Amino acid sequence: MLQAPQRSALSGPALVRLLARLAEADVAESRQSLADRLSQWLGWTDAIALSSALDGKPPAVAGGARAFGRAEEEECTRVRRSLVSAIASDSVLAGSRRRGSSSLSARMPAPRVAVDTQTDYAVFRQRYLALQQSMETAIGTLRGRLRALLATQAPALARLAVVDAVMERALGERERTLLGAVPGLLGGHFERLKEGEARRVAEAEATDAGNAAAPLASDAWLDAFRKDMQSVLLAELDVRFQPVEGLLAALRAC
């Protein structure tokens, strides 16, 4: 008896693994090293700037040095919690889970209504893009502040601040392009869930053709999508926050 081929388990960030599952894609592991991939992403001017930052004379330590301490740690924690809260509490993503949170509504039977075939992905795409912009702005500001602090500590840390600035500038457009494709992948997932619900209701209509009432339409598929979208946003936040975590680790070690 033939068996369906099993998808190989991906390693790497949770965002990549999650998107591969939601897109129902069999994604092969890349055989290229990180250095090889970076060489394809960096333009020649970026490569020169990076080489100069790595091999040149260490930059002079900026004046006004101050010690890294609790204030910076707390600010990083505050920014991250604020972004997580924005994702978790977004009204578009809350859906019926918020409306049905009371004990009274939980006891009420679901009404028998026709399937809402007009549910559109556009509103979800707009919210995803807006939350992406919030992440990019808040994390970019935080990253710049940490670099400024690094530049006041020691020559080696000042060099790291320059390298990070070069990498952010060199890879920023590539990052925006790759992460900008995420809403499109989620759109395909949305349509598959929506079509699955439409098929379920059509099958119910065919089975219960003598019943005058419309088949029971469930918004469980939409709530499942909202949960998946929140999971993807949180996974993207983890990826975007990695440079900040690296800068924090360097400051803690100094």
Q: Using the predicted structure, report yes or no on whether residue 200 has a pLDDT greater than 70.
A: yes
CB atoms within 10 A of CB 149: 21
% the chain with pLDDT above 70: 78
pLDDT average, residue stretch 123-134: 96
3-state secondary structure of 5: coil
Which of 5-9, 63-67, 132-136 is modeled with the greatest confidence? 132-136
pLDDT at 98 over 80: no
Give me the mean pLDDT over the 2-15 stretch.
58
**Dihedral sign (CA 51, 56, 58, 64):** negative
Residue 206 or 248, more confident: 248
What is residue 230's predicted lDDT score, i.e. its pLDDT?
A: 96
Per the CB < 8 A criterion, the answer to whether 150 and 250 are in contact is yes
What does the alpha-carbon distance between residue 209 and residue 75 come to, in Å, rounded to a whole number?
61
| Predicted TM-score (pTM) of this structure | 0.81
Residue 20 CA to residue 26 CA, distance in Å, equals 7
pLDDT in tens, 207-253: 766 565 555 567 889 999 999 999 999 999 999 999 999 999 999 88
The structure tokens 């068996």 sit at 3
Angle (deg, nearest 10), helices 182-207 and 14-22: 30
Where is average pLDDT lowest: 67-71, 123-127, 240-244?
A: 67-71
- At residue 254 the predicted structure's pLDDT band, cuts being 50, 70 and 90, is confident
Which DSSP helix (H) or strand (E) runs through 190?
helix 182-207
Task: Band the pLDDT of 15: cuts 50, 70, 90.
Answer: very high
**Does 58 have pLDDT greater than 80?**
no
Of 114 and 37, the structure prediction assigns the larger pLDDT to 37
pLDDT of residue 41 exceeding 70: yes
Q: What is the amino acid identity at position 20?
A: A
Mean pLDDT confidence for 130-157: 93
